[in-house]
Chains A and B, each alone.
Chain A
Amino acid sequence: MTTSTDTTQRGSAPQPGGTRKNSLTAGQMPRWTWIAVAIGALVLAAGLTALLGGGSFSWTGWLIFAAVLYIVGMYVTTYAIENKRRATDGIWRNLVWAAFILALIPLVSVVWTVFANGLPTLLANPQLLWTDMGGVTGADDIATQNEGASLQGGFLHGLAGTLMITLMATIISVPIGLLTSIFLVEYSRGGWFSRSIVFFVDVMTGIPSIVAGLFAFAVVELFITTFIGESPRHVQMIKMGLTAAIALSVLMIPVVVRSTEEMLRVVPNELREASYALGVRKWRTIFKVVLPTAMSGIASGITLAIARVTGETAPILVTAGYAAATNWNPFSEWMTALPVFIYRQLMNPTAPAAGLPSADRAWAAALVLIVIVMLLNLAARIIAKAFAPKKTGR
């Protein structure tokens, strides 16, 4: 008796790979539900937009309607087929995605606009990269706009200026920032002095960049009028690449301090102790154990700080002025940075009557600037990878 019951039961047991439904997945929506809801939302939204638009069809309106309908539709469907818990879970997921896409729109559209406007000009006139505006007059631009002559000039001076000014700013701010954060993390024991440094660094983070420019101007002015001279010729000297670099350092230092501080704090204390226990002095421990361990984060923090100041316009305009010719010397004469070049070309075109060639140059310069910033960000990632402590050795 018992044996036969056993057999029947075993016979009805689910076969591996059989078609019986898994009870764990019962009551779930089919996988294609979201596609169906999406199509429904798109179609419905198209109808709504056409109806409300009264003749003219708005693409943006259509997408917004579709997104809202999709989110609501998914919620209702999930609620009906599954349960409330899953529906709530789904609506939050969809909202997070919507927020993400919304955040991405400005970025993508900026990059798109700059590429669409700048790339054709740059491809047609690659000489923009290696000529400056020296000798280019309004007549040239009028000829370009009206008679189809080739685009004159370029922004080599802007590239040179951006390069030199940023380089100088980096040379000034990296040692100061690094040493400050080393002091904060390794030497200070949380006294009033270190707390006030942290406070002022935080305040500096929020300084408007134009104020940094004015500050740098004032400092250099003070220095030059006190130690060199007060004649108009000397006052002329204030505006130079170095002054702009000082202004940018004011903006960079707090970023470097904060990111380095963060990185130094995550270096495990065990490593410092391991080094001390080998009889290694504190400064050697810091420079040979702590800094190398944190190097990837520090380097990428610095690169991001550089990327951040490369795009500054106002502080450079008030400190380095604007020149038409290439100047590689940051210690004398006015210097143009790329953002300043863009600003000037758009606001004061070379030929006031024919602004298009200037606008073309500005867009091309904007493209180059964006590419530089992107490359710097990429460099930050590569540096972080390259310096990162090796985790496995097999």
Chain B
Amino acid sequence: MIGSKGSLNADHCEKEKVVFKKITLEKLGDLVSALKEKGPLYAPVRDGKAVNFQKITKTADVTLDFYNTVFSPKFVFFPQTEDLIRYTLQKEGAQAEPVPIAASPSVILGVRPCDAKSFEIMDRHFLGAGIIDPYWKNRRDNTVVIGYAFDPAAPPDPADFYNTVGIHAADTEGSDVFMVRKDGELLLKGITKKGESLLKGLAVLDAASAQDEAFFDETIRKDRGVKTRFTEITDTAIAAKLVGSFEKQEIWEEMTASCIGCGTCTFVCPTCYCFDINDETLFRKGARKRFWDACMFTDFTLEASGHNPRPRIFQRYRQKVCHKYSYHVTKYGCISCVGCGRCTRSCPVNIDIFSIVEKVANL
């Protein structure tokens, strides 16, 4: 562990120092400006009723007064739409250029622990499945994630259930720097090498005291007191339960009866990664694009013959849950849901994935 005393490892014979800093909230703007100088900065911005991550152009737009964003920050690594190749059609053939992958180092500020964890889950798919997705990899490698603890004194949103999937309100996992709020101050601790070097290069930050450090550690300990909805599940047991429930059509029909089959739940989700690739041409100029797709859409599985293996909504919703809680466990060794509650909060008819998983777990 970084900072642990008395390491006998030859590589670490020099005692490593924890990089631990702070800044007053009044100077948040200075921190934002300093981060912006390092490259594109993504941070929470209030727009009307909602707070969402945006690429920051105006320092003053950034807010840290939010519970969680409507959309997950996954778009920083996996934008909703992106051009892969641009082309011009010619009399014969086409002139085509691949779009270079943008590689500027960037920072995401204010990522909640469940979302920070989601990046690691997505890594298994985009980096660990035998084919490395260069777009995802490039942005992941170049991005520093600044995590942000949920307030341990505030009750969690009723839709959240991150405890169920083993995540707590101040988990540092998945973050490069972790941020805790202490009255009028922000405490920032380096978690990874990438995070430490970012912190070291930020002159706007002050050194934190031993007291601050104690507060930081205390916050992390206290996070067990933030209790989201919880049901006892293990990866493999729920995976097996779901496989067993697959044929029980009436149960699935009943649980998903009100689902209207839109794509909202998958678009807001930090761990939904399905995409489609299409050529879009206008007046002979065009681009091969990739963009988010969703298993909840009718045409997701529509075949060229006209046959659709999942014509009904209950089948599509069952696929969604089975993918996250069963197939992903079998294929990648973990559940691909972080219990952030976004799908439930944004669902136009209040379908709640937690209730469905809980029900299946107790079948």
- Decide whether A and B assemble into one complex: no
Binding site for A on B (CB under 8 A): none
Binding site for B on A (CB under 8 A): none
